[in-house]
C-alpha cells in the first residue's frame, strides 16, 4: 500500500511539475519590442511598468555609465531625451532569450533613430542585455545593459 501511494504521489508530482513548466513559459519577444516602443515615446513614465522599483537595482546605459534604481534611471533618461522630439527603436530580433523559472534573460541588437528638436538626427546601432524577474503576474527588468559599438 505504501509503495502504491508513493508511486501515485511521484506521478502526480511529475504531472504537476510538467504542467507548471508548460504554463509558466513566456514569450518575451513581443515584450522586448514593447519596452523599446515605450522608450520611443521619450517619456520614462511610459516604461516604468516594465522595471523593478528596487532602489538597489543597477541599469547600465549609453550615458552616463550607470543608474542606481528606477528613480535615478527615469530622471537621467528624461534629461538625456530633452533635446529630442521623437525616437524609434527597432530590435533586429536575432538575439537569444532564455527562461529558468521566475528568471529570464535576453540579448539582442537594434537600431535607434532620434530626431533632434533643433533639427538633424542621431542614428546608431545598439546592444541590449536584459534580466527579468517575475513579480506576481509581471515580468520586471531587474538589470539591463545598453551600449553602442565604438566608432
* Contact of 140 with 50, CB cutoff 8 Å: yes
Average pLDDT of adjacent 10-residue blocks, the chain of 151 residues: 48 46 76 97 97 96 91 95 97 93 97 97 97 96 94 66
Rounded to whole angstroms, the Cα distance separating 52 from 67 reads 13
pLDDT at 64: 85
pLDDT at 19: 42
Residue 50 lies in a domain: yes
Q: Could you tell me the CATH number of the domain that includes residue 37?
A: 3.10.450.50
Could you tell me whether strands 138-147 and 103-116 are parallel, antiparallel, or unpaired per DSSP bridges? Answer: unpaired
pTM of the model: 0.82
Domain count, the chain: 1
Amino acid at each position: 500500500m505504501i509503495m502504491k501511494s508513493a508511486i501515485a504521489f511521484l506521478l502526480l508530482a511529475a504531472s504537476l511539475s510538467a504542467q507548471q513548466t508548460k504554463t509558466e513559459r513566456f514569450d518575451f519577444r513581443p515584450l522586448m519590442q514593447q519596452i523599446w516602443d515605450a522608450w520611443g515615446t521619450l517619456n520614462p513614465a511610459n516604461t516604468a511598468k516594465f522595471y523593478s522599483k528596487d532602489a538597489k537595482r543597477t541599469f547600465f546605459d549609453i550615458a552616463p555609465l550607470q543608474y542606481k534604481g528606477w528613480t535615478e534611471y527615469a530622471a537621467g533618461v528624461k534629461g538625456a531625451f530633452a533635446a529630442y522630439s521623437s525616437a524609434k527603436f527597432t530590435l533586429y530580433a536575432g538575439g537569444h532569450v532564455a527562461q529558468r523559472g521566475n528568471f529570464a534573460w535576453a540579448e539582442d541588437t537594434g537600431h535607434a533613430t532620434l530626431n533632434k528638436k533643433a533639427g538633424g538626427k542621431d542614428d546608431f546601432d545598439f546592444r541590449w542585455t536584459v534580466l527579468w524577474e517575475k513579480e506576481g503576474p509581471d515580468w520586471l527588468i531587474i538589470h539591463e545593459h545598453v551600449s553602442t559599438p565604438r566608432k
